């Protein structure tokens, strides 16, 4: 599809609302490169990336997406320079303070994937406030990956299920895929139907490794700060053309 031929409104009309992905996951990547191309500090890219988060969360919710997972800060991101990490945490606090009322008003439920106990105190408090404030909302579930890693999530799930085995809450013989899903951060949610990765990278980067077994991938060279509702709609339109067989014919 030649995206230049269509306006945002025309793209919206082309979406088949009966075939929407129930769960869209996005690896938000390219903030640093976006800033570098403009001879700006990396945190300027992260700041602009936050604007795209606001746009895409609103667009997904308005479209009728039920679950949206965003990879914000990985377990590996602690290796970055301290000033960049501190900047990211400030942007996280800023995002929550700026957007929480709107998220709550729009019935969005915030769910955190990852170990937030390792976050700076102010960021941790704001994240907990967002989760608590929206806990009873019944609209789109917004999963935010903070200090998140796919392998870490699986190991965490294994430890939790072993503890329940020790306590006699579950027997080893009864453990299956459906039961194991209950021990993941996305407990009660469907697996992602569509995974979007901007920035030109062609890898998963330790994101939702258990959940993406049959997820459709959509890669793009667009850096995250340039990723707009238009690109979200194009990715969904492409998804709707695919034949998902789940190992069948």
- CA gap 123, 179 in Å, rounded: 32
Residues 6+ apart with CB under 8 A from 245: none
Together in a domain, 130 and 159:
no
Q: Which of 2, 43, 62, 77 is catalytic?
A: 77
In a domain, 167, yes or no: yes
Q: Which of 29, 111, 143, 206 is catalytic?
A: 29
* Residue 111 is among the residues annotated as catalytic for this protein: no
Task: Mark out the alpha helices in 134-204 (DSSP H runs).
Answer: 150-166, 177-181
Together in a domain, 126 and 138:
yes
In a domain, 210, yes or no: no
Together in a domain, 194 and 75:
yes
Q: Could you tell me the CATH number of the domain that includes residue 40?
A: 3.40.1180.10
Residue 160 lies in domain: 150-189
pLDDT tens-place string over residues 194-247: 999 999 999 999 999 999 999 999 999 999 999 999 999 999 999 999 987 777
Which of 27, 38, 34 minimizes the C-alpha distance to 70? Answer: 27
Together in a domain, 81 and 31:
yes
Count of structural domains within the chain: 2
Query: What are the tokens at 26?
Result: 């996005």
- CA gap 219, 200 in Å, rounded: 7
In a domain, 204, yes or no: no
Together in a domain, 116 and 180:
no
In a domain, 69, yes or no: yes
pLDDT tens-place string over residues 168-192: 999 999 999 999 999 999 999 999 9
* Residue 77 is among the residues annotated as catalytic for this protein: yes
């Amino acid at each position: 599809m030649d995206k230049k031929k269509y306006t945002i409104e025309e793209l919206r009309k082309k979406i088949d609302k009966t075939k929407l992905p129930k769960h869209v996951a996005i690896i938000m990547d390219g903030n640093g490169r976006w800033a570098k191309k403009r001879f700006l500090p990396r945190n300027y890219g992260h700041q602009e990336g936050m604007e795209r988060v606001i746009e895409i969360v609103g667009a997904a919710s308005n479209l009728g997406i039920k679950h949206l997972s965003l990879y914000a800060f990985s377990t590996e991101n602690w290796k970055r320079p301290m000033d960049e990490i501190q900047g990211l945490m400030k942007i996280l606090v800023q995002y929550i303070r700026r957007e929480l009322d709107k998220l709550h008003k729009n019935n969005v439920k915030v769910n955190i994937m990852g170990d937030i106990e390792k976050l700076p105190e102010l960021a941790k408090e704001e994240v907990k406030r967002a989760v608590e404030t929206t806990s009873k909302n019944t609209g789109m579930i917004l999963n935010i990956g903070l200090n998140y890693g796919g392998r870490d999530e699986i190991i965490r799930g294994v430890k939790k299920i072993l503890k329940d085995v020790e306590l006699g809450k579950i027997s080893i013989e009864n453990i299956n895929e459906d039961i194991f899903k209950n021990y993941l951060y996305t407990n009660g949610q469907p697996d992602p139907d569509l995974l979007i990765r901007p920035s030109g990278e062609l890898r998963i980067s330790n994101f939702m490794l258990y959940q993406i077994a049959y997820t459709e991938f959509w890669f793009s060279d667009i850096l995250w700060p340039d990723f707009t509702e238009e690109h979200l709609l194009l990715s969904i339109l492409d998804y709707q053309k695919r034949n998902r067989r789940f190992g069948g014919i």
